[in-house]
């Protein structure tokens, strides 16, 4: 018993979980636990400073502020509104048309922002009032926007994949390619759920019969520069023209070009200042979590938390399917209280030995884990996407959570297919020679 009390790994967990239950910010809980354990067991102050620096001084992480900046620029440039108009024209007055258009827009916008909450913020202001005006229940409309925006971390380019690639030492372009088919699968399942709910309640599109052909081509012309965004970003990455980090910088300049010279929606230096300020705020939130989570991950590895956690899971069963079920259950529960970046740094080191033990493909595992975390963005109590959606719509989290349940169930069905059929994730990376 005394040895258990003196176990630094146990204290690392307790000092992290206890503040978390008291609603202390995640970064503070992670950093505080790491510093307390390092001080008590004298892990070396010079190593603390080195790991704080090493945790953020990684070239791939430069893509995070660039993609955040690109997403904000493209939202301010009016690209989101034009993409919405195009999707509305394509689906027309079909049953659930505007809801299905929302799924399509969120899927497309994931190739621009790479962040779930940012996608809710960019699309919610347009789509939630639009769906309500077309007769959709506002609670359902907010749930659709919030849940489908989780696709932003699955559809490449994805900030989540960049973090996973850094922690697991896996090719980021390969992860980007691996996210395509699973992302489309999740989108199709969500669209199916939206259609069923719309069929039951009589929800339709926002335009009348016979209008679609006349509206599609003008909408496509207006949205052309926005449609080209993922083509340029992903085409450049897979064509070997630039790295994901360089692609993020290209996306910034492309967005500025479209906003300033093509659509002329960014007209003043003050607007640029507001864009850069929002980017710095978003980047600071992400990077402080990256720093503290990286420090906690190092402390956990030093005191044996990683080995003990892996041993507990391996001791539970010899069946890889049982272990996979446990891993997914743990990730889904973790997604209810932690953000995606923290989960990668806290749980992925524990799971890496399991990946090697069972011979799992780390690319497939990364996609599976990321889809799990996309679901976690809409599962209370944290549910960051629902929180942003609630702020935009003026509803409470409780009001949105119930209509979100069928959508979450649809995403879990897609997750089950991704877990059962790894080729859905590994086919494109193999085809493109990225593994």
Residue 336 parent element (H or E): none
> What's the pLDDT score for residue 192?
92
Q: Three-state SS string across 54-79, please?
A: HHHCCHHHHHHHHHHHHHHHHHHCCH
> What's the pLDDT score for residue 361?
93
Alpha carbons 108 and 123: distance in angstroms, whole number: 11
Out of 107-116, 190-199, 243-252, 261-270, least confident range: 107-116
What's the mean pLDDT in 212-216? 56
Q: What confidence tier does 363 reach under pLDDT thresholds 50, 70, 90?
A: very high
Q: Where are the beta strands (DSSP E) in 280-405?
A: none
Which is higher by pLDDT, 283 or 178? 178
> What's the pLDDT score for residue 279?
85
CB 116 within 8 A of CB 153: yes
List the one residue out of 171, 72, 51, 174 whose CA is nearest residue 115.
72
> What's the pLDDT score for residue 206?
58
Res. 65: pLDDT tops 70: yes
> What's the pLDDT score for residue 4?
52
Which position has the token pair 């919405």?
84
At residue 367's C-alpha, the angle toward residues 364 and 372, to 5°, is 130
Is the N-terminal amide bond of 157 cis, ω within 30° of 0?
Answer: yes
The residues, ordered by sequence, that sit 6+ positions from 423 with a Cβ below 8 Å of its Cβ are none
Q: What confidence tier does 208 reach under pLDDT thresholds 50, 70, 90?
A: very low
Helix (H, G, I), strand (E, B) or coil at 263: coil
- Looking at residue 260, the DSSP 8-state letter turns out to be I
pTM for this entry: 0.82
Instruction: Quote the radius of gyration of the chain (alpha carbons, Å).
Output: 22
pLDDT in tens, 106-148: 887 776 666 677 778 777 777 788 788 778 888 998 898 888 8
What's the mean pLDDT in 254-272? 87
> What's the pLDDT score for residue 424?
92
Q: What confidence tier does 210 reach under pLDDT thresholds 50, 70, 90?
A: very low
Res. 153: pLDDT tops 50: yes
Alpha carbons 109 and 124: distance in angstroms, whole number: 12
- Looking at residue 151, the DSSP 8-state letter turns out to be G
Is the N-terminal amide bond of 97 cis, ω within 30° of 0?
Answer: no
The residues, ordered by sequence, that sit 6+ positions from 353 with a Cβ below 8 Å of its Cβ are 306, 307, 310
Rounded percentage of the chain residues whose pLDDT exceeds 70? 93
What's the mean pLDDT in 208-229? 69
> Terminal CA-to-CA distance of the chain, rounded, Å?
47
pLDDT in tens, 162-185: 889 888 889 888 998 899 899 999
Res. 239: pLDDT tops 80: no
> What's the pLDDT score for residue 382?
66
Res. 383: pLDDT tops 50: yes
What's the mean pLDDT in 12-30? 83
Which position has the token pair 């003008």?
218
Which position has the token pair 């529960």?
333
Rounded percentage of the chain residues whose pLDDT exceeds 90? 12
Res. 344: pLDDT tops 80: yes
Res. 61: pLDDT tops 50: yes
Q: How do the domains of the chain map onto residue ranges?
A: 58-431
Res. 253: pLDDT tops 60: yes
Alpha carbons 332 and 369: distance in angstroms, whole number: 9
> What's the pLDDT score for residue 413?
94
For residue 9, the Cα-to-chain-centroid distance in whole angstroms is: 29
Which position has the token pair 């850069």?
276
Alpha carbons 90 and 204: distance in angstroms, whole number: 13
DSSP string, 197-263: HHHHHT---SS-TT-HHHHHHHHHHHHHHHHHHHHHHHHHHHTTSS-HHHHHHHHHHHHHHIIIIIS
List the one residue out of 26, 42, 23, 48 whose CA is nearest residue 298.
48
Q: Counting runs of H as helices and runs of E as strands, what totals does the chain give? A: 22, 0
pLDDT in tens, 408-432: 999 999 999 999 999 999 998 988 8
């Amino acid at each position: 018993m005394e040895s258990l009390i003196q176990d630094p790994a146990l204290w690392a967990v307790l000092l992290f979980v206890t503040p978390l239950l008291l609603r202390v910010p995640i970064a503070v809980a992670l950093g505080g636990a790491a510093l307390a354990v390092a001080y008590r067991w004298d892990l070396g102050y010079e190593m603390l400073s080195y790991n704080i620096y090493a945790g953020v001084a990684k070239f791939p992480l430069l893509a995070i502020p660039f993609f955040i900046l690109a997403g904000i620029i493209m939202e301010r440039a009016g690209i989101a509104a034009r993409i919405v108009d195009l999707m509305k024209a394509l689906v027309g007055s079909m049953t659930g048309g505007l809801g299905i258009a929302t799924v399509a827009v969120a899927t497309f916008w994931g190739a621009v922002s790479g962040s779930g909450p940012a996608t809710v913020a960019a699309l919610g202001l347009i789509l939630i009032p639009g769906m309500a005006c077309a007769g959709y229940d506002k609670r359902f409309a907010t749930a659709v926007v919030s849940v489908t925006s989780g696709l932003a971390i699955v559809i490449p380019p994805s900030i989540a994949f960049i973090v996973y690639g850094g922690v697991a030492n896996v090719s980021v372009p390969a992860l980007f390619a691996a996210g395509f088919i699973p992302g489309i699968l999740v989108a199709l399942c969500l669209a199916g759920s939206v259609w069923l709910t719309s069929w039951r309640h009589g929800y339709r599109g926002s335009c009348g019969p016979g209008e679609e052909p006349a509206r599609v081509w003008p909408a496509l012309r207006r949205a052309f520069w926005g449609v080209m965004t993922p083509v340029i970003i992903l085409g450049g990455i897979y064509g070997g023209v630039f790295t994901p980090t360089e692609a993020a910088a290209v996306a910034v300049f492309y967005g500025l070009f479209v906003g300033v010279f093509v659509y002329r929606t960014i007209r003043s230096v003050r607007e640029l200042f507001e864009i850069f300020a929002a980017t710095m705020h978003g980047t600071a939130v992400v990077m402080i979590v990256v720093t503290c989570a990286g420090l906690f991950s190092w402390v956990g590895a030093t005191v044996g938390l990683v080995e003990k956690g892996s041993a507990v899971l391996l001791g539970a069963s010899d069946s890889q399917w049982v272990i996979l079920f446990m891993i997914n259950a743990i990730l889904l529960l973790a997604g209810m209280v932690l953000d995606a970046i923290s989960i990668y740094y806290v749980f992925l080191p524990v799971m890496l030995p399991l990946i090697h033990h069972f011979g799992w493909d780390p690319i497939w595992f990364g996609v599976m884990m990321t889809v799990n975390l996309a679901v976690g963005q809409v599962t209370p109590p944290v549910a960051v996407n629902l929180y942003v959606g609630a702020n935009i719509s003026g509803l409470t989290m409780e009001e949105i959570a119930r209509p979100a349940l069928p959508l979450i169930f649809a995403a879990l069905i897609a997750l089950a297919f991704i877990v059962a059929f790894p080729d859905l994730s590994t086919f494109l990376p193999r085809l493109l020679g990225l593994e």
